[in-house]
Amino acid sequence: MARQEPDLRLLQISDTHLHAAADSRMRGVTTYATFLAVLEHAKRDRRWPVDAILATGDIVQDESRAGYERFRASLEPLGVPVYSIPGNHDDPKLMSEILASGPFQLGGELRHGAWSVVLLSTFLAGEDAGGLGPARLQGFKQALAAHSTQHVLVAMHHHPLPMGSAWLDGVALRDATAFWSIIDANKNVRGVVCGHVHQAADQTRNHVRFLSTPSTCAQFLPGNEFFALDERPPGMRWIDLYADGRIETEVAWLPQDRS
């Protein structure tokens, strides 16, 4: 029997933290080099090509135009649509200039088969924490109503559930209660994916899957009260969304012994 194909196949990359200079290092990692290594790894995977790439924020660390241009130039040759949302380190204005045309889309929605992906900005100017606020919460409600016949995956930068790390949970999504109450009132949301936390998580809350995804650069030590780095390598997440509402997903890590 032929294997069932997903309705929508995504590759999530997150927290690339690129800089104006290609050789800039952050937390011991040359972020542009690890970003390229992640893309190369993905291209060699049996699941490539995907229907879309989902970039869940902290694309550029130093709010530089050159960083966003390099991000775009690295992804454009892949011939795959790229959907982005800002993280706390991003400059949404530069993103709207550089990552919102051609195969690139900033925020909004992606509708494909039985699925819709709703992209939410949780960016708050000058803050490391995230928030939606009344206007975005209202927009979220309307988006779910407009996609009520679809299975929905929500993508955002900040985590809307505690990760069990005091320092990280202090910079989470502030209005998570309001966010989840909207999801609870809409039975079609199947999953929520985020970045920001530089680690992998896979939980379920009231039948809704909650997934966090490692960074393409350095990782944070899970469950630690204070900031600490994990030794895990750069990572990415494959997401297969099926017509019956099922989510199949796997985090892939770069081989540790790469040179």
Q: Which residues contribute to the site for Fe ion (CB under 5 A)? A: 15, 58
Q: Which is nearer to Fe ion, 7 or 58 (CB)?
A: 58
**One-letter identity of residue 207:** H
Q: Which is nearer to Fe ion, 6 or 214 (CB)?
A: 214
DSSP for residue 183: H
Query: CA dist 57 to 2, 60, 153, 155, 187, Å?
Result: 37, 8, 16, 10, 27
- Minimum distance from CB of 58 to Fe ion (Å)? 3
Q: Which is nearer to Fe ion, 218 or 241 (CB)?
A: 218
Q: Which is nearer to Fe ion, 14 or 150 (CB)?
A: 14
CA angle 129, 252, 206 (to 5 degrees): 55
- Minimum distance from CB of 16 to Fe ion (Å)? 9
Residue 105 host element (H or E) = strand 104-106
Task: Give the span between the Cα atoms of 240 and 8, in whole angstroms.
Answer: 6
- Minimum distance from CB of 175 to Fe ion (Å)? 20
Q: Which is nearer to Fe ion, 17 or 151 (CB)?
A: 17
- Minimum distance from CB of 15 to Fe ion (Å)? 3
Q: Which is nearer to Fe ion, 15 or 51 (CB)?
A: 15
- Residue 168, helix vs strand vs coil: helix
- Minimum distance from CB of 185 to Fe ion (Å)? 30
- Minimum distance from CB of 220 to Fe ion (Å)? 9
Q: Which is nearer to Fe ion, 58 or 240 (CB)?
A: 58
Would you say 217 and 17 are in contact if contact means Cβ atoms under 8 Å apart? yes
Task: Give the span between the Cα atoms of 75 and 81, in whole angstroms.
Answer: 9
Per the listing, tokens 């997401």 go with: 239
- Minimum distance from CB of 120 to Fe ion (Å)? 17
Task: Give the span between the Cα atoms of 7 and 141, in whole angstroms.
Answer: 24
Query: CA dist 232 to 35, 50, 77, 193, 214, Å?
Result: 15, 25, 28, 20, 9
